[in-house]
């Protein structure tokens, strides 16, 4: 299993306001706004060269990101993402070691159509971890 750092995901209540703050304060530019219907989020990436910041805003009330904002109204870090070569093989290998992979087994995809999976926070020091497949 090989891992690489991909991005950190920050939930924000207003993606446009967050993008303005990043630009005005830090000179960081958020890219195209995209919608991931499956995950129930609007997202934009800030490209940092070797990694990214992913801004996420809920697109519907039943999104896990909406529930996060209920607990953290100002937003905050939601998870970090690791690149893997094969999400299914990595998930199987981790599960064999007792790591819990979230979900019902239905394949999940990011806005680029790449396979993703999430590791239960209880199995990674309290942090939610996304596995993202890059081929």
Catalytic residues: 130
CB atoms within 10 A of CB 68: 19
CA 82 – CA 93 distance, rounded (Å): 15
CA 133 – CA 110 distance, rounded (Å): 10
CA 120 – CA 103 distance, rounded (Å): 10
Which candidate, 87, 114, 84, places its Cα nearest to that of 101? 87
């Amino acid at each position: 299993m090989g891992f690489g750092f991909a991005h950190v995901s920050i939930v924000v209540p207003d993606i446009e306001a967050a993008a303005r703050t990043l630009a005005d304060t830090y000179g960081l530019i958020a890219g195209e706004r995209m919608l991931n219907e499956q995950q129930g989020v609007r997202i934009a990436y800030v490209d940092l060269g070797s990694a990214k910041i992913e801004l996420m805003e809920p697109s519907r009330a039943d999104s896990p990101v909406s529930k996060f904002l209920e607990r953290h109204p100002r937003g905050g870090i939601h998870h970090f993402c690791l690149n893997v070569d094969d999400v299914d093989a990595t998930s199987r290998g981790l599960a064999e070691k007792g790591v819990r992979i979230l979900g019902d087994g239905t394949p999940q995809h990011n806005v680029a159509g790449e396979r993703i999976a999430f590791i239960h926070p209880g199995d990674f020091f309290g942090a939610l971890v996304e596995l993202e497949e890059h081929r």
